[in-house]
Amino acid sequence: MGKAWSVMKTKHLDPIISFSAKEEPVSTAVSWRLESGTRKGLRDPSAERVLFHESDGAIDGIVYLNRSGLILPLFKDRQGSQKQLPPDSDMLRPLFRRYLHSVHSIMGRQCDVTSLNPLIGQNIRKAIDYHFLADDRMEKTEIIDRVLPGPPQPEIEIHRAKPTDTDKLFELHKGYEMEEVLLDPDSFNPTASMMQLKRQLQEQIVFYGTIGKTPITKAGTNAIGWRYAQIGGVYTVPEYRRRGYAAQVVRSLMALLEKERRLHSCLFVKKRNRGATELYRALGFEEREQFRITYYHPH
């Protein structure tokens, strides 16, 4: 059988999903792209590709690519080595060239992300390091209650978002994108952002908190895998920060994931964002991986 890279077809889907599932929590975003809700397979087969590497019939690496230039690598047993190239990397380079016009970003385990860099013929624009955290203890309520004594004032009301809440949550979503996602806040695109929020509300689980009728904080999942749901988009409007509101919303979300879906939670948080990191540790999250997003200049 030997070793080789191939492009995923429908018949390869199950073993590839199974491989990704075993690498969770760090691979939750990949698991989600392979299978979500009632959909099995890629959302848009004309805009997405999955490459996979087999050694003697067993899959030991996959790379997800899409038309916007996003790459999600996932390799098995790399022992954290950042310098080591992916297996059979000379086969990978032409596949990248065939399916990607230009790389926008690579996201994943730090060692997996850096190992692909020599194969990308573009200059790095920025690399951001994250802690990848996960919470999979069964009993955690008492820890949370110790760290978060009593509700903050004024009290917020917590709601689960409905697919029709797009308008209600747009300002929060916009604030989040401007502060946390976009490298250049001037590039904010309201239409794209609205579409993205709409889709998130349709497919994901989102909670938000209101004071009076105004939403001031939110958190939701952005990927749901086999055992883990990845939490993202955690955001509180600046004037209400550092009062524990986000913690309340994240806790409600985690409780629902655990109770109704039997899912543990995971997330990644910027290393320099100490406040948030402390908050997640208090909520029971523990460090699992070094995570990185590398952004590239266009060709």
Partner 1 sequence: MILKTAAAVWILTSVTLSAQSRPETGSSLFWTETPAEQLVEQLISTMNDDQILSQVLMLGYRGMKPSPDILTWIEQRGIGGIKIFGWNTGNLPELAAGIKTMQKGAVESKSGIPLFVATDQEGGWVRHVKDTTSRTPGNMALGASGLPYDAYMTGYYIGQELRILGINMNFAPTVDVYSNPEAHVIGPRAFSSDPVATGTLGMAYMHGMEKAGVISTAKHFPGHGGAEVDSHGALPKINVDMETLWERDLVPYRMTVKEGLSAIMAGHLAFPNITGNDMPATLIPYFAKNVLRERLGFDGILITDDLLMQGALQTGLPIEEICVQALKSGNDMILLSSTPDPNGSLWRRLREEYRRNSDFREQILESVRRILRVKLENLRNDNAVPIFPDPGRVYERIPDSEGTNFFFQQAHRSVSLIRNDRVPYQPAKNERVLLAGPFTAFLRTGSRVYPSADTYYFPYTPFYSASTEEKNRIAEAAGSYDTVIFCLANPSSLELLETIAKKNRNVIVISALTPVYLREISWVGTAIAAYGYDTPSFEAAFSVLEGEIEAYGSTPIPMQTP
- Distance CA(62)–CA(42), nearest Å, equals 14
Assess 44 for contact with partner 1 (CB under 8 A). Answer: yes
The set of residues, in sequence order, having a beta carbon less than 8 Å from that of 192 and lying 6+ positions away, is: none
Assess 140 for contact with partner 1 (CB under 8 A). Answer: no
- Taken in order 131, 137, 143, 145, is the CA torsion positive or negative? positive
For residue 211, give both structure tokens: 């004071």
Pick from 4, 45, 94, 195 the residue near partner 1 by CB under 8 A. 45
For residue 243, give both structure tokens: 């009062």
* Type of residue found at 159: H
Q: Count of CB atoms within 10 A of residue 102's CB? A: 13
Taking CB under 8 A as the rule, which mask of x and - marks residues 180-219 in contact with partner 1? Answer: ----------------------x-----------------
Q: Where are the alpha helices (DSSP H) in the chain?
A: 13-22, 28-34, 89-99, 110-116, 141-147, 166-176, 190-203, 245-261, 274-282
| CB-nearer residue toward partner 1: 23 or 176 | 23
Min dist. Cβ of residue 47 to partner 1 (A): 10
Pick from 136, 165, 177, 289 the residue near partner 1 by CB under 8 A. 136
Contact 92, 5 (CB under 8 A): yes
Min dist. Cβ of residue 26 to partner 1 (A): 16
- Taken in order 112, 116, 117, 120, is the CA torsion positive or negative? negative
Pick from 3, 4, 7, 39 the residue near partner 1 by CB under 8 A. 39
Pick from 3, 4, 7, 22 the residue near partner 1 by CB under 8 A. 22
**Binding range to partner 1, per CB under 8 A, among 61-69, 72-80, 232-240, 255-263:** 255-263
Pick from 80, 154, 163, 185 the residue near partner 1 by CB under 8 A. 163
In the complex, the residues that contact partner 1 under the rule CB under 8 A are 14-15, 17-18, 21-22, 35, 37-41, 44-46, 57, 136, 163, 202, 226-227, 261-264
